[in-house]
Structures are given as C-alpha cells and as structure tokens.
Structure 1
C-alpha cells in the first residue's frame, strides 16, 4: 500500500474496535482515502478473546488497525495482541498499526509483542482522547449530574482529538514503508488540566459543569460500585496512579510530522460536540 497511488484504491484494511472512539473514525478516514474497510467488532462476530473468530476477518485483508479493549496495557493485552499479530502475518496481513498510550509503561509489553510478530508494524501512542469527555463512561456524569469525578488532580494533559489519531493511522497505513518500524506520538495542541477541560465544555454548552478530583483508590471504589470486576478495578487504579502523575504534561508533534498540520484544538472539539447536543441533560 502506497500513499496517493492506485495501489491504495481497493486495498482492504481490517479495523478492530470499529464501533469505538478511534475505530469508527479510522474506518471513516480509511474509506475517504479510498480503502475498503472491513469493520470488526463483537457485534460483527469478532472477539479479541476468541481466536476462532480471527481468521474470518483477517483472511484477504491487506492491513489492520489494532485497538485492544479495555486497555493496551491490560494484563492479557501483550499475549493476545501478539497472538493475533502472528496469525495476521501467517495469513498474509503484514501491515499492522497498533493504538498505544503515551506514557503508559504497562503498554510496552504489548508494543514489544507486536514488534516480535514479524509484522510491518507502526505504533501510534496517543494522549488522552478529547472524545473521552463526549463518548464513553464519563459522559453521563457531565450530562446527568453536571460534575465529572476523576483521579487526575491538577495534572495537565494535551487532549488529542480522535479524528487526528484516525488521520495519522490512515497515513501510516497508506504511507508505504515510510512509517514501518516507527513509533508516532500524538497529542493535542495545548496542555489543560481536567478541570480546565471541563470548564471549556461548560463554556461551550452554557451549563454549569464542575470537576472534582479524587484519589485513585477512591475512584476505584466508585468503579467497583458500578459493577466493574475487581481485577479490572485493580488494574485501573494502578494505571491512574502512574499515568496521571504528570509524566504526560508535554506536547508531542506526531500530528504535524505525519499530516503536515497542527492538531485540532480542544476548544473547537468542545464547541462542535456541544452544538451536536452531546452534553444536553
């Protein structure tokens, strides 16, 4: 697959997590680039935890975008991603792009498993998604209660728009050898605390919204109360205690390096999502 040539037209890319925050946008951007998208999700019969579902989606694809639930650093992620990557290579799907997390040491074994698979790999390490405020488990708190409770304290994060992640992924998939064997780190344009981000959402919506920081352990108790399994709670508490310690309070230039433009601004994201009614109670 090479960028902007006839080879890209009609090439088939498998998109895992195709109904998720990044996968849905990768699928959209891939179609816009002239790729044929094979959307993979549990609703479509693909299950990361059932290897018997893998060959039917891998066979005949030219490339794949890999996003692992629930987190790329989860205890079983390295083994599972490694197995799928090796099977992909065996079936002729050598071009693999993995979504990873910037600053997450727990994700490094999964990245290494991809490297060891024999694939032509690219890793895209992303900052915290802007869309985590508009999609997924945090949205209901803002929409229904007007408050976001999260264990981030006053740490600053360069929230990245998932559309930028998608554009970088598709550029990697269609860029020939250019991004093979590369780690690309992507972030948004500005550093914001979670409280400042919620304030920008509030300004965009015209609602009074607030942010309340809690210790990671207390947040874990909340997750347990919501029915999250104990082993997942333990992993997430440990993840938040490390990932939200300020190590990501810096910008990365991967969006500009790959796309030749700056990343989308969080304020623009907030205004667009507000106009679409995302946070209306």
Structure 2
C-alpha cells in the first residue's frame, strides 16, 4: 500500500465503520470523515473539506442524511470537483437503489473526472438494530407505512465488502452496482423473523403514511428528517425495488448474507432485549 490515506466519509456510520475496519485490516491508512473526527469533516461546512482531503488518494463518499435531500446534488458536485482538483481520482459513492432523486447526485460525481464506482444499496438489515427501528423492535410493536410491498433487504457487511473492493481494485471503475440480499421480504415478514430469533413476540402494523408522518412531527423530529422518511416510504418503498440482483455474487463471488442469519446473530447480542 502507498503512504497516502483513504478517506471514509461517514466513517462512524453503518457502512463507513465497517469499511474502515476492513481497510485497516488490509494495512490501509484510514482517515474518518465525520464532524467528531480530526480533522473535522462536515457536509454543511465547506471549509472543512480541503483539510480532510490532504494526502488522500481515494474516498468512500457517503452523504448524510441521504442523496435525495435538498442540497445534496450541489454538495456532491462541489466536493467531487474539489477532490479531483486535489489530485484524488478514486471515488466510491454510496447511493440508494430506486432513488430517482439520488441519481442526479450520481451524475455529478460521474462527470467530475474521477475514477468512480456507484453502489446503490437496498434497505439495510441494520436499520432494525443500529438506527431508526431499533427502539420500535425493542418495544414489541413496529408501526410503518408499508403493507404488502417487498424489499430485498441487504447487509451493511456485504455493502462494506463491495465498497472495499471498489476502492482498491481498478476492475470496478465505471461500474454501477445494485446490491440486494438473497430474498424478498415484506417488513412484516422481516419483523417476524426478528421475533423468532429473539424468542419473544414482536408485532407489525401498517399505518397510513400521513398518520406516520404526523406522529413523527408530534414527536418533535426535525423537518428534514421527516421529509426524508416521507419520501422514502412514498417514492422508494412502493414496490419498484421488489426484485433481486446478482451484483453481490458477481463482485464477491459468494451469495449475499441472509436476513435470518442477521436476525439470529443480532438477537444473540441482546440489542433487541425488552426496553426497560
């Protein structure tokens, strides 16, 4: 490996943390891109970008909170242009499968002159255990808008494995990968598998999107977060992603991780123990 640095934006998040761990295991020098890191990196503070890019040769680009939010396209355009001007060629972008609004940001990165790879992820397994739905699962009842729609839930570990190869291997330059798990599940079926693995009852109830949004607002959640969730459930989780791809098998030469394995291993950690 060279003496230069690989910058992992969102390096404390679900995919970034896993990518950083894998790169370090391979002897790669990693810099975490986060507000809490040194140097600090903040998507909303452009003055933090250049210091984070010093002595960097490749970047995993994860935009927070999502490429579909207002301002993301311009931020990706300006950041990728700065990276290329700084002599950084390899950019691997995490995007969302089926997110039409994210594809404009993808195009900006593709037009930057970088050697790019786009990774479009499906709904992460880990949304049930590391963020968003963890407390609902622990409470014993999950309320969400989707009813019968199926989703090819995917492991953040599989995404990390693909991203590491894309960062280190020229064979993945110019490729768009759509990553899915091996099975289609409804949210109710996913929750049922978590309940079985946890050994306790956990219910699922579909609620109208308008009611779900109103409840989030009543709980005082930020408007931009509420709008992102509304967008995802109204536009992305509408059945458009109810199909599987073979991209993980193609890149990793193995089948993607199964949700049931994730549920068993995660239940064993106690993260879904009943809330006090």
Contact 1:9-1:34 at 8 Å conserved across structures: no
8 Å CA contact 2:119, 2:177 repeated in 1? yes
Could you say which residue in structure 1 is the equivalent of 2:99?
Answer: 104
- Aligned equivalent of 1:166: 160
Question: Is 1:136 equivalent to 2:131 in the alignment?
Answer: yes
2:4·2:55 contact (CA, 8 Å) conserved in 1?
Answer: no
The separation in 1 between residues aligned to 2:33 and 2:253, in whole angstroms, is 30
2:47 to 36, 52, 62: 52
Where does structure 1 lack aligned partners over 5 or more consecutive residues?
A: 1-7
Aligned residue in 2 for 1:256? 249
Deviation, 1:239, is 2.9
Residue correspondence of structure 1 range 1-281 to structure 2 within 5 A: 8=1, 10-44=3-37, 45-143=40-138, 145-176=139-170, 178-281=171-274
CA separation in 2, counterparts of 1:127 and 1:148? 20
**CA separation in 1, counterparts of 2:172 and 2:110?**
13
Q: Secondary structure at the match of 1:128?
A: coil
* d(CA) in 1 for partners of 2:30, 2:112: 23
How far apart, CA to CA, are the structure 1 residues paired with 2:219 and 2:169?
A: 43
What SS is found at the alignment partner of 1:47? coil
Shift of 1:137: 2.0
- Is the Cα–Cα contact under 8 Å of residues 5 and 57 in structure 2 kept in the other structure? yes
1:82 & 1:119 partners in 2: Cα distance? Answer: 12
Cα RMSD (Å): 1.3
Determine if contact 2:152/2:181 at 8 Å carries over to the other structure: yes
Partner of 1:3: none
Residues 10 and 34 of structure 1 are in contact (CA less than 8 Å); yes or no, is this contact kept in structure 2?
no
Q: Residue deviations 1:227-249, cap 9 Å, x none? A: 22334423431331111111111
Partner SS, residue 36 of structure 2:
helix
Q: Deviations over 1:104-143 (max 9, x none)?
A: 1111111011112111111000110000011112101111
Q: How far apart, in 2, do the equivalents of 1:210 and 1:155 lie?
A: 17
Query: Size of the alignment, in residue pairs?
Result: 272
Deviations 1:194-244 (A, max 9, x none): 000001100111011011111222211122122223344234313311111
What secondary structure, in the 3-state scheme, does the structure 2 residue paired with 1:85 have?
A: helix
- Tell me the secondary structure at the aligned position of residue 204 of structure 2: strand
The whole-number CA distance in structure 2 between the counterparts of 1:123 and 1:236 is 22
Partners in 2 of 1:197 and 1:67 — Cα distance?
Answer: 26
- 2:153 and 2:136 map into 1 onto residues whose CA distance is 19
* Distance across 2 between alignment mates of 1:189 and 1:94: 33
SS at match of 2:6: strand
Distance 2:193 2:148 in 1: 15
- Are 1:121 and 1:181, in contact at CA under 8 Å, matched by a contact in 2? yes
Structure 1 CA distance, aligned partners of 2:65 and 2:58?
Answer: 22
Structure 2: state its 5+ residue gaps. Answer: none
Query: 1:59-86 CA deviation, whole Å, 9 max, x = no partner?
Result: 1111000111111111111111111111
